[in-house]
Amino acid sequence: MMIRRHFFAITLGCLAAAILPANIANAGDRQAAASGLIDKMIADLQAFLATDTGDVEARSAEIDRVLTSYFDMDSITRFSAGQYWRAANADQRAEYGTLFREVLCGTIVRNFDQLNGLEYSPGATSTKGDKFVIVGGTFTDINGARPPVAVNWRVLTREGQPPRVFDIEIENLSLLVTQKQENVAVVRKNKGQFGALIEAMQARLDAPLHSN
């Protein structure tokens, strides 16, 4: 995968932050931090892909590292369960969190080859309320076999904490919201039993490797 990283816009953002009022400067700082997070994540993936041999264990370890380093997995896990997270006990939450992460990691690994031949170009960055920054970008197939795909990284930028990715929007479709809707539907179908969601996650984990 070839990746272009543009620092000019980030530099301008830092210069603007130095001369604009405090509230605008803070927004600029948040945008720069969020953009820097995505920039570093893409660079890390680029470095891995440059030496990737297709080994499943190595890919799994890399994805697990990326999730730990760049994503707010605690917040993502809670959100993905919707309102039923509050009804789950501590053991159920822990088990669901483990399964959710394993399923997510496995899905990415099974589709890892799709990253080959993609070029990432960063786009516009904007704040969304007091906590989120939206970092835009586009994935382009350098061989022209697939159409360009617009992506928005929804990054949590909380004061005193490092920025972390909370959600990814592909062509304006939220992957996390979609997952939440699927999970909530499973629990509702089973009369509000959170255990049914855990069983569904386990079933996905036990499914053949070729299934998503």
pLDDT of 115: 85
> Sign (positive/negative) of CA torsion 188, 103, 45, 117?
negative
Q: What is the pLDDT of residue 208?
A: 66
What pLDDT sits at residue 159?
Answer: 87
Answer yes or no: pTM beyond 0.85.
Answer: no
**What's at 161, amino acid-wise?**
Q
pLDDT tens by residue, 53-94 = 999 999 999 999 999 999 999 999 999 999 999 999 999 999
The per-residue pLDDT for 209 is 55
Residues 6+ apart with CB under 8 A from 162: 37
Look at residue 80 and tell me if it is in a domain.
yes
Does the structure show a pLDDT above 80 at 12?
no
Domain, as residue range, for 134: 2-206
Residue 85 in domain? yes
pLDDT reported for residue 178 = 95
- What's the pLDDT tens digit per position in 114-172? 888 889 999 999 999 989 999 999 999 998 888 999 999 999 999 889 999 999 999 88
Number of domains in the chain: 1
Instruction: Judge contact between 120 and 142, C-beta under 8 A.
Output: no
> Are the CB atoms for 172 and 152 separated by under 8 Å?
yes
Query: What CATH number did the domain enclosing 197 receive?
Result: 3.10.450.710
Return the C-alpha torsion angle 79, 82, 83, 85, nearest 10: -70
Please report which confidence band the pLDDT of residue 7 belongs to, taking 50, 70 and 90 as the band edges: very low
174 is a domain residue = yes
Q: Does residue 211 lie in a domain region? A: no
User: Which tokens hold the place of 177?
Assistant: 């919201």
Residue 47 tokens read as 């470095």
